[in-house]
Amino acid sequence: MSTVQGRLRIAVQKSGRLADRSLDLVRDAGLRVVKGNNDLLYRVENYPIDLLRVRDDDIPTFVADGVCDLGIVGENVLEEARNGGPTAEVIMPLGFGRCTLKIAVPPTLAYDSPASLEGLRVATSYPKILRRFLDERNVRADIVTMRGAVEVAPRLKLASAICDLVSTGATLEANGLGPRETVLESQAVLIRSPVAPEPGLQHLLDSIIERMAGVVSSQG
């Protein structure tokens, strides 16, 4: 993907828990967003800015690599994407998209502490975060990585426990799982690229960040 000359890019989730609120924030910051010819790119008509609408998992990489100048993403996704390479810098928490990464188990599993997972299989979409959590507690467990539908893993005997995002708790409840441990608290954050924009766009970038900060603080 090549950078469009003379335009800033903001990466936002295309669909999912952050998508609507991300667009709201951009609009509240004074950017008039219009749909382009394709679904991937929305244009801002009153500034030289484009919104790149992608999967949330891709946002940290796009911003770290300088494909996008700013991004709106969950701390959970950002943390999972950490790989020792260049990283996006967190500018500020945005106060929406709150959720918690939790270990949850079926009623048949006795759970006292992370040590209860010793020797068991745990299904998750967040293998790196979970591995770090278990390593720090000296728990040896197998991690099964699933892209989605993690909550069905215990019923399918794919795993004894899961580590998944919880927001209302409805998904756990519907699947007869009980939350036992918080691994990570998360909310949406604004991130910026370590790669500077072209010099002519630096001032615009700073002012967009400032406006977004104003919107967030006014929402208290």
Contact footprint for ligand PRP (CB under 6 A): 16-17, 148, 150, 164-171
Other Cβ atoms less than 10 A from the Cβ of 78: the count is 22
Shortest spacing between CB 28 and Zn ion, in angstroms: 24
| From the list ligand PRP, Zn ion, none, partner contacted by residue 166 (C-beta under 5 to 8 A by kind) | ligand PRP
With CB under 5 A as the rule, give the number of residues binding Zn ion. Answer: 2
Using CB under 5 A, pick the residue from 22, 49, 56, 94 that binds Zn ion. Answer: 56
Q: In terms of CB distance, is 50 or 164 closer to ligand PRP? A: 164
Helix intervals (H) in the chain:
19-28, 59-64, 75-81, 127-136, 170-174, 202-218
Q: Which does 216 bind (CB under 5 to 8 A by kind): Zn ion, ligand PRP, none?
A: none
Q: How far is the CB of 211 from Zn ion (least distance, A)?
A: 27
Query: 23, 8, 22: which is closest to 69 by C-alpha?
Result: 8
- The whole-angstrom separation of Cα 73 and Cα 190 is 7
Smallest distance, Å, CB 56 to Zn ion?
4
CA distances to 13, 156, 172, 178 from 22, rounded to whole Å, are 8, 35, 26, 30
Contact set with Zn ion (CB under 5 A):
56-57
